[in-house]
């Protein structure tokens, strides 16, 4: 692997749409780091068995995503955000999908399927979600002075 490829992150924070809410922005930034660690574990697996490292990275990611969604859900509730049901429903749908993918990974150990999910489906969803629902939610929360869950 060249030095250039070594330095390449699977996702860069500068590509993630900014939201007008410091806490949400910070949670998105740390989720990018957690996703990047998963990307590194998947890369390591291509060079030799890194199943345990991937499992550990997935455990961290699942906890992070749960806390991320739960925090936004609570803040929307505190602020009386009108589109709460839609945003919460989307979090619930994606969490269920994530749990399904993790269960598949544990039974098949198919690293390509895992990589495809995270670096295509999940990443595309995340960019889309942050630039739409999170974007609008962040403005509403800031307007209402709800700064943290
Ligand atoms: Fe978010
Ligand atoms: Fe969200």
CATH topology of domain 19-144: 1.20.120
Mean of the per-residue pLDDT values for the chain? 93
Centroid of ligand 1 to alpha carbon of 1 (angstroms): 33
Centroid of ligand 1 to alpha carbon of 28 (angstroms): 6
Quickly state the pLDDT bin for 7 (edges 50, 70, 90).
Answer: very low
Three-state DSSP class for 18?
coil
Domain boundaries, the chain: 19-144
Give, in order, the Cα–Cα distances in Å from 56 to each of 40, 42, 105, 129: 12, 11, 13, 26
Per-residue model confidence (pLDDT) at position 13: 86
pLDDT, tens digit (0-9, with 9 covering 90-100), for 74-133:
999 999 999 999 999 999 999 999 999 999 999 999 999 999 999 899 999 999 999 999
* Ligand at shortest distance from the CA of 90: 2
Centroid of ligand 1 to alpha carbon of 144 (angstroms): 18
Confidence (pTM):
0.93
Centroid of ligand 2 to alpha carbon of 105 (angstroms): 25
Quickly state the pLDDT bin for 8 (edges 50, 70, 90).
Answer: low
Centroid of ligand 2 to alpha carbon of 136 (angstroms): 10
Q: What percent of the chain has pLDDT over 70?
A: 94
- As a whole number of angstroms, the distance between CA 34 and CA 58 comes to 9
Centroid of ligand 1 to alpha carbon of 42 (angstroms): 24
pLDDT, tens digit (0-9, with 9 covering 90-100), for 24-65:
999 999 999 999 999 999 999 989 999 999 999 999 999 999
């Amino acid at each position: 692997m060249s030095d250039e490829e070594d330095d390449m992150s699977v996702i860069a924070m500068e590509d993630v749409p900014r939201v007008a809410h410091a806490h949400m922005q910070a949670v998105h930034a740390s989720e990018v780091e957690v996703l990047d660690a998963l990307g590194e574990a998947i890369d390591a697996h291509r060079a030799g068995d890194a199943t345990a490292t991937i499992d550990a990275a997935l455990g961290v990611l699942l906890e992070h995503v749960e806390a991320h969604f739960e925090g936004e859900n609570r803040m929307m509730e505190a602020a009386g955000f009108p589109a709460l049901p839609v945003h919460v429903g989307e979090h619930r749908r994606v969490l269920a999908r994530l749990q399904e993918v993790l269960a598949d990974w544990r039974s098949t150990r198919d690293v390509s399927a895992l990589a495809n999910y995270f670096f295509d489906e999940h990443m595309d969803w995340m960019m889309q979600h942050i630039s739409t629902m999170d974007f609008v939610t962040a403005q509403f929360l800031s307007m209402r002075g709800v700064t943290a869950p």
